[in-house]
Amino acid sequence: MAAFPKDFLWGAATAAYQVEGAHNEDGKGLSIWDVFSHLPGTTYQNTNGDVAVDHYHCMQEDVALMAEMGLQSYRFSISWPRLLPNGRGEVNEAGVKFYSDLIDTLLAHNIVPMITLYHWDLPQALQDEGGWEVRSTAEAFEEYARLCYSRYGDRVKLWATFNETIVFIGHGYITGSHPPSVRDPGRAIQACHQVFIAHALAVKAFREMKIAGEIGFVNVLQPHTALTNSAEDKVATELADAIHTHWLYDPVLKGHYPEALLAQTQAIWGVPRFEAGDDELLRNNLCDFIGLNYYRRETVVANPGETSTASNHNGEPNSGAEFGFKDLFKFVRNPDGVYTDWDWEIWPQGLTDGIMMIKERYGDIPMYITENGLGAKDPIVDGEIVDQPRIDYLSMHIEAMENAIAKGADVRGYYPWSFIDLLSWLNGYKKQYGFVYVDHNQNLARKRKKSYFWYQSVIASHGEQR
């Protein structure tokens, strides 16, 4: 007997900008990604989501593929500027209808919708007013959330406010590789604060509107391991946990920042700046669940004296530096590790460890594994997509998740990234994650991969056959 609870949901995930296309159709406003990806040299081979995999027009076909697979839940995000072209104010009813139809189609196939309100595609109109650095964007987010609750709250029970703050703030305000391409740790910390406030405002609205469902927040789950047993590397690893985990989970699960780190950022940068009532707002609007996106762990060493806003070997903000501290830590390649083609370590044990770490720090919070997957160049053999490495990767991670459940963790669902091959923000269409292949040379025709049939039997056997 598998250890998965009876109501455990076998899902899959995507995000609006990465699948929908139709970037300027039916009244949609522009997002920061629509604008940024059109600036030469900002993305891999100048790829963009103008068409993506045309899910906007292929929605019925895509949901039929989900249903045939036996999918029990689908995590997708809503494009804010498709609903509110200017970020607030006038509502684009054609955009509202697209998601309403998607939800109805999912429910007709007994697929539970999970909505992510923000997966990085901020309306450009709000960016022009200061984006995440200003309180008015958090207030506009509340207006957008209320609109979504009022239109979809009768049918959708699972809601997440934000996806991976560390990534869109880290890349947007530290490495500069995502819009708005700023490189300033102080501004990053302040923008991150407005995101937490936006989240709290949206949770408050959810409670006030008495939506019959659960609302949470999605974070990167990134366990850290010291490279050596030295005291320096251990201290460095604790700091990595404080910055990459506690800073991002504490405000939404405990209602406040980790105190020691807060004192340091405020001493060095004078941020985050609180407005009257912020403390109370955070404290009174905690999550019902936490979404965990797990891909890899990071190996940590003490960093002797370097400080920069450079990125690490994964192209991400290089540890410690983003908070303006020097002599802290950095991420390195684990000499014994197994790595993907994109240099992400494959370490399934990290999923068990990470889940247990969350349980230990935050108690019995319900969890969903909202992303987990292998980015690869899938081989095509005699016309079939034989993505065995993906099957191996997912199989090992399902076992790791099962081990955490056996140890008492309240994990309620699993959403591999991604249901279908889609646009990778900075890696174009070369880096594939999907169960469904999309042929870019043949009118974006869909084709089931080997992993599609494999996951079908995982779902049918409630995790036993894998």
Q: Which residues bind ligand BG6 (CB under 6 A)?
A: 15, 18, 163-164, 167, 293, 371, 375, 417, 424-427, 431
Name the minimum Å distance from CB 12 to ligand BG6: 13
Burial class (CB in 10 A: 0-12, 13-18, 19+), 21: buried
Spatial CB neighbours of 276, under 8 Å, sequence gap ≥ 6: none
Q: How far is the CB of 13 from ligand BG6 (least distance, A)?
A: 8
Q: Which is nearer to ligand BG6, 99 or 120 (CB)?
A: 120
Nearest to 427 by CA among 333, 343, 342: 342
CA atoms within 13 A on the CB side of 88: 12
CB nearer to ligand BG6: pick between 167 and 332 = 167
Residues 6+ apart with CB under 8 A from 7: 412
33 vs 269, beta carbon nearer ligand BG6: 33
Q: How far is the CB of 373 from ligand BG6 (least distance, A)?
A: 7
Cis upstream peptide for 180 (omega within 30°): yes
Whether 164 is catalytic is yes
Residue nearest to ligand BG6 (CB): 424
Considering 20, 133, 142, 164, which one is annotated as catalytic? 164
Q: How far is the CB of 371 from ligand BG6 (least distance, A)?
A: 6
Residue 283: CB minimum distance to ligand BG6, A: 28
CA distance 113 to 105: 10
CB of 163 to ligand BG6, least distance (A): 5
Q: Which long-range contacts (CB under 8 A, 24 or more apart) does 178-181 make?
A: 178/36, 178/120, 178/425, 178/426, 179/32, 179/33, 179/35, 179/36, 179/122, 179/127, 180/32, 180/36, 180/127, 180/131, 181/36, 181/42
Considering the complex, state which of residue 19 and residue 205 has its C-beta at the smaller distance from ligand BG6: 19
Secondary structure of residue 442 in the 3-state scheme: coil
How far apart, in whole angstroms, are the C-alpha atoms of residue 105 and residue 99? Answer: 10
Beta-carbon count within 10 A of 364 CB = 9
Catalytic residue among 133, 316, 371, 402: 371
Q: Please, how many CA atoms are within 13 Å of residue 428, restricted to the half-sphere of its CB?
A: 10
Closest CA to 274 of 192, 174, 165: 192
Nearer to ligand BG6, 77 or 352 (CB): 77
> Are the C-beta atoms of 136 and 104 separated by less than 8 Å?
no
Closer of 375 and 413 to ligand BG6 (Cβ)? 375
From residue 398, how far is each of 14, 387, 463 by CA, in Å? 19, 17, 8
Distance in angstroms (rounded) separating the CA atoms of residues 36 and 43: 9
Distance CA 19, CA 13 (A): 11
Give the nearest distance from C-beta 168 to ligand BG6 in angstroms.
9
Q: Is the CB of 76 or the CB of 144 nearer to ligand BG6?
A: 76
Q: How far is the CB of 167 from ligand BG6 (least distance, A)?
A: 5
How near is the Cβ of 393 to ligand BG6 at its closest, in Å? 13
Query: Smaller CB distance to ligand BG6: residue 180 or 375?
Result: 375
The residue with tokens 């500069």 is 176
Our answer to whether residue 316 is catalytic in this structure is: no
Distance (Å, whole) CA 249 – CA 163: 12
When the beta carbons of 19 and 391 are compared against ligand BG6, the nearer one is 19
Alpha helices in 290-437 (DSSP H): 349-362, 388-406
Distances from the Cα of 313 to the Cα of 124, 152, 216, 372, 398, angstroms: 30, 41, 30, 20, 27
**CA–CA distance from 107 to each of 63, 127, 180, 223 (Å)?**
10, 34, 37, 35
Catalytic residue set = 164, 371
